[in-house]
């Protein structure tokens, strides 16, 4: 697969036109066999690419992402189109007047928007099994889930259809599919990346984040979305390994990698992890349910059956329980800040296993087979609760199904995550292995 970094360099240098790159990406997206694409934006993509070429012809700077094709989860506003949020019923609604702010920032740097991508309806799930748009299949195995709710975004990058894609992460919806599809993904610190124009799920936890097949690409798109690079880390990061529940329900290969990365690092336990996850469930369900409460009352059959009952249950949660969960979270964050004060990076598993089978979406949790859709976030959801930034990275596993880790950092110190991730790539502990048949997009 060609990287975004390579494409931008070739287009900026005039070795290739943005129009030819866009045409190749559109052809790959049109031939998608993974259920990743919901709408192809061919006319828009060719117009944006032509504008990049025109800028270069005028001697202007086309931007850091000149001619780089990308796609977005179908909850980002795209001017002139309805924002479906994974629901075909919303496809008949009003069109967005302007692009989401994240889309505007990428376009300003020369990136070319080519498609919208599949997701769990209203971002409620870890599977990308959608009653309207179908199930997104994992490019590493067509019989397996891609994860969710940003599964279409992860699959599009893993399949080589585009080098970059945007998703969103409420309780793990970037980190879980990044793990199952073998990619880099990012959940930023609160307020780090722009949420304007992204359809909400749970306001307390929602963040947007990119997927990429290389660390250099992820760093580049992160810099563009943030409006500036994170502060560099000049010192070796102080690492800790998360113990307790994070050593349970994990693949042995994840634990072996964590121990190989930092064998002398202290093993620390976050307090009340099961309670934190339960409180996250309450906050998510309450906020999601109340967001949709009026529409549910008017027409419950508007909703995907897989999410309708959970949204109704959330809408019925008592206010007092929600306030109690919020108060617990405030206290919990204060505890975590004190606990991790002496560490720059915490190591933990991402999804607890490789991609489950679509036909039998169950995973082993605490010795029993449990639904994947609810439990793939067992290690990501408690980290969401801490409000810390997370870089998801893939273990290097040629010929095997992907597994991923979480590098958990501190707001404003994401440079430490990038430094450690680069070191681990150099040590061949982590790195993307593309599935056979991924589109290479060679220059013509």
- Identify the active-site residue in 173, 179, 214, 350: 173
| 173 noted as active-site residue | yes
Q: Which residue has the tokens 């299949």?
A: 137
- Identify the active-site residue in 17, 73, 87, 410: 73
Between 354 and 302, whose confidence is greater? 354
Element containing residue 215 per DSSP (H, E): helix 215-226
Q: What is the pTM of this model?
A: 0.96
For 420, the token pair is 């450690």
CA-CA-CA-CA torsion sign (179, 33, 49, 150) = negative
pLDDT at 443: 32
Q: How many domains does the chain have?
A: 1
| 278 noted as active-site residue | no
CA-CA-CA-CA torsion sign (227, 347, 423, 404) = negative
pLDDT at 292: 94
Domain harbouring 147, CATH code: 3.90.1300.10
Per-residue confidence band for 365, with pLDDT thresholds at 50, 70 and 90: very high
Q: Does residue 30 surpass a pLDDT of 70?
A: yes
pLDDT at 438: 63
Q: Does residue 75 surpass a pLDDT of 60?
A: yes
Q: Does residue 26 surpass a pLDDT of 70?
A: yes
pLDDT, mean over the chain: 94
Question: Could you read off the pLDDT of 128-156 as tens digits, one per residue?
Answer: 999 999 999 999 999 999 999 999 999 99
Average pLDDT over residues 417-433: 94
pLDDT at 388: 94
| 149 noted as active-site residue | yes
Q: Does residue 25 surpass a pLDDT of 80?
A: yes
Task: Name beta bridge partners: 392.
Answer: 185, 406
pLDDT at 1: 61
Between 234 and 215, whose confidence is greater? 215
Q: Does residue 441 surpass a pLDDT of 70?
A: no
Per-residue confidence band for 428, with pLDDT thresholds at 50, 70 and 90: very high
Average pLDDT over residues 189-200: 94
Q: Which residue has the tokens 């694409």?
A: 37
Average pLDDT over residues 188-194: 91
Distances (CA, A) of 362 to 127, 247, 369, 404, 436: 11, 20, 6, 19, 26
pLDDT at 444: 25
Domain that holds residue 428: 1-444
Q: Which of 60-69, 101-110, 231-240, 403-412 has the weakest average pLDDT? A: 231-240
Per-residue confidence band for 437, with pLDDT thresholds at 50, 70 and 90: low
Q: Which residues lie below 8 Å from residue 353, measured CB to CB, with a gap of 6+?
A: 251, 363, 364, 403
pLDDT at 233: 75
Secondary structure (DSSP) of 161-196: S-SEEEEEESSSTTHHHHHHHT-EEEEPPTTSS--T
- Identify the active-site residue in 3, 17, 87, 149: 149
Question: Could you read off the pLDDT of 302-352 as tens digits, one per residue?
Answer: 888 889 999 999 999 999 999 999 999 999 999 999 999 999 999 999 999
CA-closest candidate to residue 144, choices 376, 343, 359? 359
Q: Does residue 442 surpass a pLDDT of 60?
A: no
């Amino acid at each position: 697969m060609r990287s975004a970094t390579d494409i931008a360099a070739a287009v900026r240098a005039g070795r290739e036109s943005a129009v030819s790159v866009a045409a190749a990406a559109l052809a790959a997206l049109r031939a998608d066999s993974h259920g990743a694409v919901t709408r192809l934006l061919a006319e828009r993509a060719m117009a944006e690419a032509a504008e990049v070429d025109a800028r270069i012809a005028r001697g202007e700077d086309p931007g850091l992402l000149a001619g780089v094709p990308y796609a977005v989860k179908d909850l980002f506003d795209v001017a002139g189109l309805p924002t479906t949020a994974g629901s075909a019923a919303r496809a008949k609604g009003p069109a967005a007047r302007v692009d989401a702010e994240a889309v505007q920032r990428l376009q300003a740097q020369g990136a070319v928007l080519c498609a919208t991508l599949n997701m769990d309806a209203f971002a409620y799930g870890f599977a990308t099994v959608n009653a309207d748009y179908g199930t997104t299949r994992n490019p590493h195995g067509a019989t397996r889930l891609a994860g969710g709710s940003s599964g279409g975004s992860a699959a599009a990058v893993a399949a080589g259809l585009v080098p970059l894609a945007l998703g969103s992460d409420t309780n793990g919806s970037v980190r879980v599919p990044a793990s199952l599809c073998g990619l880099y993904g990012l959940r930023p610190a609160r307020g780090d990346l722009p949420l304007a124009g992204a359809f909400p799920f749970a306001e307390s936890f929602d963040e947007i984040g990119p997927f990429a097949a290389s660390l250099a690409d992820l760093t580049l798109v992160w810099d563009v979305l943030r409006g500036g690079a994170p502060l560099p880390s000049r010192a070796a990061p102080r690492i800790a390994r998360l113990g307790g529940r994070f050593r349970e329900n994990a693949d042995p290969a994840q634990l072996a990698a964590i121990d190989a990365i930092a064998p002398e690092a202290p093993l620390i336990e976050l307090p009340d992890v099961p309670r934190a996850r339960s409180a996250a469930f309450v906050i998510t369900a309450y906020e999601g349910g109340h967001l949709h409460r009026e529409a549910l009352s008017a027409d419950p059959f508007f909703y995907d059956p897989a999410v309708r009952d959970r949204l109704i249950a959330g809408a019925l949660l008592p206010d007092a329980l929600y306030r109690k969960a919020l108060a617990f979270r405030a206290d919990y964050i204060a505890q975590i800040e004190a606990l991790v004060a002496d560490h720059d990076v915490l190591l933990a598993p991402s999804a607890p296993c490789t991609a489950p089978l679509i036909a039998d979406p169950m995973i082993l949790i605490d010795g029993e087979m449990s639904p994947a859709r609810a439990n793939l976030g067992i290690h990501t959801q408690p980290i969401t609760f801490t409000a810390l930034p997370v870089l998801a990275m893939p273990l290097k596993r040629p010929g095997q199904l992907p597994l991923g880790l979480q590098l958990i950092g501190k707001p404003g110190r994401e440079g430490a995550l990038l430094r450690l991730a680069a070191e681990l790539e150099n040590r061949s502990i982590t790195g993307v292995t593309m599935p056979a048949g991924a589109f290479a997009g060679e220059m013509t």
